[in-house]
Structure 1
Amino acid sequence: MPATLPPHPSGSLHGLSAVVTGGSRGLGLLIADELLRRGCSVTLAARDADELKRAAGLLHDRHAAAAVRTAVTDVRDRESVADLFRQTAEACGGVDVVVANAGIIQVAPAETVGTAGFDDAMSTIFEGALHTSLEALPHLRESRAGGRLAVIGSVGGLLAVPHLLPYSCAKAAVGALAEGLHVEAARDGVSVTAVHPGLMRTGSHLHAVFGGDRRREFAWFSALAGTPLVSMDAQRAAERIVTAVQRRRVRLVLTPAARVADKAHGLAPVLTARLSHAVNTLLPSAAGEPELRPGIDVEPAAPRTFGERLRSLGSALNDRSSRAYNQRHRTAQETTS
């Protein structure tokens, strides 16, 4: 923290320096927006420079005097993450709040994704959270306000979700990391909050990648992610996440459906597995294309079948979110993949 800043009132985020990985779109962008609203300066970190530029522009439009920095960062590379925190600490006088949010979503049967897909999920989601956490902690210990770290897991890490197994495995590891770090970092005055969201209307279906029967996989995922009774308004989710970080909560599970699933798995794991099996029978088979493609390529230009029209109705809110939260663009990684 800069020496000129006075001590902060308990719980206040005003004037603190925050870093959000995966901050260029979707939930990360909304968390950054909420941190700015509460008086933080924010550094957005992501892999795509153009996407970061658009995100910073969106935030400046909402917050005229916003202190927004961007940093091209690959969370899979620990040295890239170390540079992120060194440069942020130098530019902002320290690092007080960190949200480890970067991740990917692969939607396909496990045999279609293959071991390479699992490796990719673990590298981006788990190792990304690990690199972010370990490089952030020395800076957070030095925060005069008491450092705060939030690690974004998922309900998919609390129980295995069919056709999302690489994501579930990586998020399960993230959940264990967050719980362990909470215990170890507490003696140094650093709080660690494990966040486990359920489905949210972030527009992420356009940047998730799909394999097998791609169009059917896209249809069920995008429809569920946009259904109000199942999914959550992403802006409301971001507000609750930042409040949990501000209050130094240990654990936050978002959406009623996610809380029910969490408790059901803990109390009746066999029954939960049987219900997951029943759900899996409704999902597409492994037949189809082995190559994974982003939803922005899979999305039908105009619904042709009854199922596609139904998906279009079910995901209308999610489609609207994709335009608002910087999702309606092809990233450099997708363009060159």
Structure 2
Amino acid sequence: MTPPYGLQGKVAVVTGASRGIGLAVAEAFTAAGARVCLTARDADGLRRAAAGLDAVALAGTVADPAHLRRLTGLAMEAYGRIDVVVNNAATNQPYGPLMDADPDRWREAFAVNVEAPLRLVQYAWRAWLREHGGSVVNICTEGATHVGPGLGAYGTSKAALLHLTQQLAGELAPGVRVNSVSPGLVRTEMARFVWEPADGAPTGLPLGRIGDPEDIARAVTWLASDEARWITGTDLLVDGGTRVRAARSQAPSQPGPRPPITYHLPGA
């Protein structure tokens, strides 16, 4: 995949990059000319991803501030700059009704999905972005603006990440642009429990399929690049038409004859 825009000479830090959306973003960035510094909890998967991209990587959890400091230091040591931060690592636990949510797991959701993105941006800001500018892209979710069964902690934390995106966009302008991408249902390991039971069945989406990680990577690459240089504080919804499928259910399957249109001109 070669995007029609480039990130030549840029350096990006990508979290949750051993598979799924994070790996697809790292691949797209590399194809667009960037060098990447990767992290994920899966050390073996991360090692394979880094080898395939000739990238540097550091295994660990983004919930650990010390790990994020080391990750920032690794990027600066290896490449001497950090132009782009992509906060993709996330957890969808605790899953289930909020009345049954374990407080420790609830706090973990916010540590990974909200606090870690803020901390990583802080470290990158102090290391490079404050003096040289750059771009941040946070991966949110289409579900952050509405409720659904089982994903209360995930949706609430991602709604907080949406607000954090806007707050940072205002605070870090004009040098650093901060945006987010909100995927719909994407064929990732974390969402397997949602898409696998219905795999191969009609999704009801206007665009006829669930998403692939590459669909999200294209959007992230564009937002991170100078092609989007006049965009900050926005959330780009990439959901295959999830929000508009209710209208599709009301549309006729075949266009029928239309009544004639009568125009009434002023003074006629």
Length-normalised TM-score, structure 1? 0.63
Counterpart Cα distance in 2 of 1:130 and 1:67: 27
Alpha-carbon separation, structure 1, partners of 2:108 and 2:199: 23
More helix by share: 1
Distance in 2 (CA, whole Å) between partners of 1:152 and 1:225 is: 24
The answer as to 2:79 corresponding to 1:92 is: yes
Aligned to 1:121: 109
For 2:47 and 2:116, the matched residues in 1 are separated by 22
Q: Which residue of 2 aligns with 1:196?
A: 182
Task: Decide whether the 8 Å contact of 1:224 with 1:231 is kept in 2.
Answer: no
> Are residues 1:30 and 2:24 paired?
yes
1:20 alignment partner in structure 2: 14
2:148 corresponds to which residue?
Answer: 161
Distance, in Å, in 1 between the alignment partners of 2:243 and 2:173 is 26
Q: Which of 43, 50, 71 is matched with 2:44 structurally?
A: 50
The reply to whether residue 109 of structure 1 matches residue 97 of structure 2 is yes
CA deviations 1:41-97 (Å, max 9, x no partner) are 11111123222112224xx2xxxxx44111123211222211211221121011111
Q: Which residue of 1 aligns with 2:218?
A: 239
Cα deviation, residue 194, structure 1: 1.6
Question: Per-residue deviation at 1:12?
Answer: 4.1
Question: Mean Cα displacement is larger for which, 24-33 or 121-130?
Answer: 121-130
Helix, strand or coil at the partner of 1:13: coil
Q: In the aligned structure 2, how far is the partner of 1:258 from the partner of 1:93?
A: 41
Q: More deviation in 40-49 or 113-122?
A: 113-122
Root mean square deviation, CA, Å:
2.4
Is contact 2:141–2:184 with CA below 8 Å preserved after alignment? yes
- Give matches, 1:194-233, under 5 Å: 194-206=180-192, 218=193, 220=194, 222-223=196-197, 227=203, 229=208, 231-233=210-212
The CA deviation at 1:122 is 0.9
Distance 2:65 2:189 in 1: 28
In structure 1, the residue matched to 2:34 is: 40
Confirm or deny: 8 A CA contact 1:156 1:168 kept in the other structure: yes
Shift, 1:221, TM fit: 5.2
Structure index of larger Rg:
2
Residues 181 and 219 in structure 2, CA contact (< 8 A), matched pair in contact too = no
Q: CA deviation at 1:154?
A: 1.0
1:23 Cα deviation from its structure 2 partner: 0.9
**Any idea what SS the aligned residue of 1:70 has?**
strand
The count of aligned residue pairs is 230
Paired residue for 2:124?
A: 136
Matching residue's letter, 1:237 = I
Q: Which of 55, 64, 69 is residue 82 of structure 1 equivalent to? A: 69
- 3-state secondary structure, aligned to 1:201: coil
Q: Identify the residue that residue 296 of structure 1 maps to in structure 2.
A: none
Residues 39 and 177 of structure 1, relative CA distance in 2, 3 Å threshold = same
SS of structure 2 residue aligned to 1:232? coil
The percentage of counterpart residues that share the same residue type is: 34
Question: What is the rounded CA distance, in whole Å, between the counterparts of 2:135 and 2:29 in structure 1?
Answer: 13
Query: What TM-score do you get using the length of structure 2 for normalisation?
Result: 0.77
| Gap runs ≥5 in structure 1 | 1-10, 61-65, 207-217, 265-337
